[in-house]
Chains A and B, each alone.
Chain A
């Protein structure tokens, strides 16, 4: 390993100081989810009561008579939402990325430019428009509707990333496969897709995570409880500031984070690919 002049403990101390607030808050989150009550950063009494939500349907007294779906429904919805976004995004980005990287067609450059502009577009400005479109298509209040919206917003970034990965593969390989007996389409899935698999993996993880953490679109476009995702559910727990059950909120929060942490641990190196781009032959 090369050392670029940053030696000794000082840089590490500085980094720890900067990260400390975040680390303390996560520590507090974990402690609080197993504590009866917290006073500042200090837990009083240990309990598993906060984790009862895994088994029971929670009811809140301000929702007298109403019944919330249990946590597994929310989890399933979130999973469906994230996976849906991932599958659609990957399918469209690998085909579009290939086309933009490899085929010459009218309007290729404007399309490329447009993709970048769309990427920098603040999606919040589209809310009303999207609402009207979803209503018109009969997709309002349905998971599929939000999935499509999210995919559309994810595309510019994804296409750009996949184009970069396709660009890094030499033409020779593709030509060789055409000579060896593949059609263009067969070349795409037999030769090109395996070669950009690091890109596909990275984009999948990235998209899945962004879907898992998504709040705004499910919150706005899915008012029904039965199709809601975990982020919206978590928000509903803190809806009334006076009666927030912090034990429950932190437990659900921790539960919500577990898949992300696991994914990060296993997929770190693929995620790094997205920023360095390219495959290793």
Chain B
């Protein structure tokens, strides 16, 4: 089902948790609401679920305004961060609970429960257990089964992976994405983990201070961040971002980075850079290093190396600037070594002094 949020606001006293939000979630889409804690992403989800009433604005399901519809009538399934299983019921009763409320017959309930249990790959032996006797991953599957059993039109997931250990998180990440694609159900996932958002979502809505900063595919957010916040939030290790100035000397225009070193770009780029003060951003994988000196490379000193297994994260000091660069794992460097740095000019991002992207 298509969901449309129109100027949606939710205020708690003076706090604007969600501030005139506009967002469309397409039929069958997997949308991720991403943002730091306190950015209003969970509030937005609870508004969609009907657990909060909007202060102003509208929520459409399909063509219908559902502002005043109670949660039970919205046709939604929801998985909570704590899973919120009912501790006094066993697993079977937990999953059957939404169906018993719909007054289905016993045999019908039994059939539907067993079907969904198979679908989420939950061991049938666990059905008699209490939630307290299950592992985190199993509880997660029960919560998913309970959310899906009544065949909702919309699936809402509130940080479903944050309570799992790292290994299980990877497994469930794949699994939830697979389930979503199989069912084709419109899904909204809330998370503060940008890796989770990048890997799972068809599109990501990045939020800050109750407002959406950027909506787009993971690729768009990563490669064309609309402002400094997106640029800094998406990507791990994060983008290098520097205060820079544009200047001109005998050789032509240059960008002076943090008063430390000059970068030269093709002439046409400077036609778009109208202001003197800008921010320059470049991702660590686009900063390459060389052990041989060269005229057009910048020299720096290795500050610290952080091996990541597959590759090494190098922190390199150039003047006042600390640069992050990703280098192949076989490079032999240690603190204090001298290196030469090359910026891939095709992957540099420019932002004006208010932090908005300058399109080149």
Which residue numbers of A lie inside 8 Å of B, CB to CB? Answer: 170, 172-173, 175-183, 186, 191, 194-195, 197, 279, 281
* B98 located at the interface, meaning its Cβ lies under 8 Å from any Cβ of chain A in the complex: yes
Is there an interface contact between B88 and A180, defined as CB atoms closer than 8 Å?
A: no
Is there an interface contact between A179 and B86, defined as CB atoms closer than 8 Å?
A: no
* B324 located at the interface, meaning its Cβ lies under 8 Å from any Cβ of chain A in the complex: no
Is there an interface contact between A179 and B87, defined as CB atoms closer than 8 Å?
A: no
Within 8 A of A (CB), among B206-258: none
Is there an interface contact between B51 and A180, defined as CB atoms closer than 8 Å?
A: no
Q: A195 with B87: in contact, given A175-B80, A178-B71 (CB under 8 Å)?
A: yes
Q: Which residue of chain A is the closest to B82 with respect to CB atoms?
A: A172
Is there an interface contact between A176 and B72, defined as CB atoms closer than 8 Å?
A: no
User: Within 8 Å CB of A177, what residues of B?
Assistant: 86, 97
Is there an interface contact between A179 and B78, defined as CB atoms closer than 8 Å?
A: yes
User: Within 8 Å CB of B46, what residues of A?
Assistant: 175
Is there an interface contact between A175 and B84, defined as CB atoms closer than 8 Å?
A: yes
Closest 7 CB pairs of A and B: A172-B84, A181-B101, A281-B87, A176-B84, A172-B80, A180-B98, A181-B72
User: Within 8 Å CB of A178, what residues of B?
Assistant: 50-51, 70-72
| A186→B72 CA distance, assembly (Å) | 12
Q: Give how many A-B residue pairs fall within 8 Å (CB-CB).
A: 65
Interface SS of A by simple majority: helix
Is there an interface contact between B86 and A191, defined as CB atoms closer than 8 Å?
A: yes
* B54 located at the interface, meaning its Cβ lies under 8 Å from any Cβ of chain A in the complex: no
Q: Which residue of chain B is the closest to A191 with respect to CB atoms?
A: B86
A-B contact pairs, 14 of them (CB 8 A): A172-B82, A175-B78, A175-B84, A176-B78, A176-B84, A176-B146, A177-B86, A179-B71, A179-B76, A179-B77, A186-B101, A195-B88, A279-B87, A281-B131
| A172→B81 CA distance, assembly (Å) | 8
Seed contacts A175-B78, A197-B88; 16 additional CB < 8 Å A-B pairs: A172-B83, A172-B84, A173-B84, A175-B46, A176-B80, A176-B84, A176-B85, A176-B86, A176-B146, A178-B70, A179-B72, A180-B97, A180-B101, A180-B146, A182-B72, A279-B87
User: Within 8 Å CB of B85, what residues of A?
Assistant: 173, 176
Is there an interface contact between A194 and B80, defined as CB atoms closer than 8 Å?
A: no
* B1 located at the interface, meaning its Cβ lies under 8 Å from any Cβ of chain A in the complex: no
User: Within 8 Å CB of B146, what residues of A?
Assistant: 176, 180
Q: Shortest Cβ distance from B12 into chain A, in angstroms? A: 11
* B293 located at the interface, meaning its Cβ lies under 8 Å from any Cβ of chain A in the complex: no
User: Within 8 Å CB of B83, what residues of A?
Assistant: 172
> Which of A175, A181, A183, A197 gathers most chain B CB within 10 Å?
A181
User: Within 8 Å CB of B131, what residues of A?
Assistant: 281
User: Within 8 Å CB of A181, what residues of B?
Assistant: 72, 98, 101-102, 150
User: Within 8 Å CB of B70, what residues of A?
Assistant: 178, 183
